[in-house]
Structure 1
């Protein structure tokens, strides 16, 4: 009986320690976000120096490759976008539908797109990490097929909301659930119509120093990793303020 009580006490201590550890990590993260946000808004920190690689899926094939510094013009007129084409801030995201950090960023992007419809243009480009997420290439092609039917962003949301259930059959089923022409969609996907375009996105990202997902280019400046909403909001405000000066 006493031995059983000791086991329960031990488990309780372990659970308490685990909870405290989670709270400490969460507290450090919150402090970091508040600190960076304050520095960005005061102009003391250059947003292009930021990195969030703790929330970043890295391709093993690319991890050791050198990265060139500089700004990169990666905006396109044909990739899916939100916001005005004349916006002062252009944010290009390289993402992977199978990446949990890209999923995290997807909600942030959707929220800020509503907040800044005229000031910010968001552009989505594909960077499938097929060595980590085998379905990534096909999911990216499926997104392009959805774009054909004017449903990219709805499909984008659907894939990220069902990230743990991505198979080729499910990619087609999701399209049907969004009232797309299922035959047209499946024909597009099976034919590999957009395979080369997805690969072109990937190669453009590699040349610009993308080594994992998500990676953002804010007016050409690269930031790796999932950017917390408050920090991304502060970065946008910082750029907009500079534009007004």
Structure 2
């Protein structure tokens, strides 16, 4: 959809640059009478044109991201933080990252690696609550296993989290049996796991997670909400750090990374 307007704009700019200063009316008339000439000229520079379109799209998306985050700094998103759920990281953490994710999404697997690095940089000040944006049956099955394991032991649930993302291809190929085999391999009590998975509250939890994400305008995975400000997609760690610094400044607090650096000195 962005290509056609971009082509028209580039064509206009090209004519302005090369033509002997025609009037606006003359330019419009030339475009109407000789569209083939414009297309021919652009066709000779496809790679440059494509590069400009891609650059324009990236600039547009970055502007949209900055505008969205600016609004969220003013009015942060407010995910439910149920203490009965599994949190990873210290309870005293000043920064909470709520993740909306899908165990079978390849971008979510990449995002999980970035989030792990982010937590390793800030071991004393960041905690994570993993939520689900699972929409197909196998993804929901894996999400339900995660929540049932969290009832047994939150550490077991996060071990499953890491292992499931690492074994995405095997799970997609083998289906639900691979999910259960992974849980057993990690030391899960299988009879208890199956019993807990029948708990309607856990199934409702998955539905509530999706509904909450959609209420925030989130329509893709992964999405990370850092103290109310969203980072969407498998973003680089620099974006996480940027949001963290800005959140700390807006709250009148020192960014955890700066505090950690002082301790090392």
| TM-score band w.r.t. shorter chain | 0.5 to 0.7
Structure 1 segments unaligned to the other structure (5+ residues)? 1-20, 37-44, 51-68
- Aligned residue number for residue 236 of structure 1: 244
- When structure 1 is superposed on structure 2, of 146-155 and 192-201 the one drifting more is 192-201
For the Cα contact (< 8 Å) 2:133–2:209, is it kept in 1? yes
Q: What is the distance in 2 between the residues matched to 1:72 and 1:147?
A: 25
Secondary structure of 1:212 counterpart: coil
- Aligned residue number for residue 54 of structure 1: none
- When structure 1 is superposed on structure 2, of 209-218 and 78-87 the one drifting more is 78-87
- Aligned residue number for residue 164 of structure 1: 169
For the Cα contact (< 8 Å) 1:47–1:235, is it kept in 2? no
- Aligned residue number for residue 204 of structure 1: 212
- CA RMSD in angstroms comes to 2.9
Note if 1:123 corresponds to 2:132: no
Q: Give the TM-score normalised by structure 2.
A: 0.61
- Aligned residue number for residue 85 of structure 2: 79
2:144 to 141, 145, 159: 141
**1:119-162: CA deviation from partner (whole Å, max 9, x where unpaired):** 222211111032xxx41111110110111121111000111011
Q: What is the distance in 1 between the residues matched to 2:195 and 2:84?
A: 21
Structure with max Cα Rg? 2
Q: What is the distance in 2 between the residues matched to 1:149 and 1:114?
A: 25
Q: Give the TM-score normalised by structure 1.
A: 0.66
For the Cα contact (< 8 Å) 1:79–1:125, is it kept in 2? no
Higher relative contact order (CA 8 A, sep 6+): 1
- 1:102 Cα deviation from its structure 2 partner: 0.8
- Give the aligned length: 186
- 1:239 Cα deviation from its structure 2 partner: 2.7
For the Cα contact (< 8 Å) 2:231–2:240, is it kept in 1? no
Alignment of 1:28-67 (within 5 A): 48=69
- 1:238 Cα deviation from its structure 2 partner: 3.5
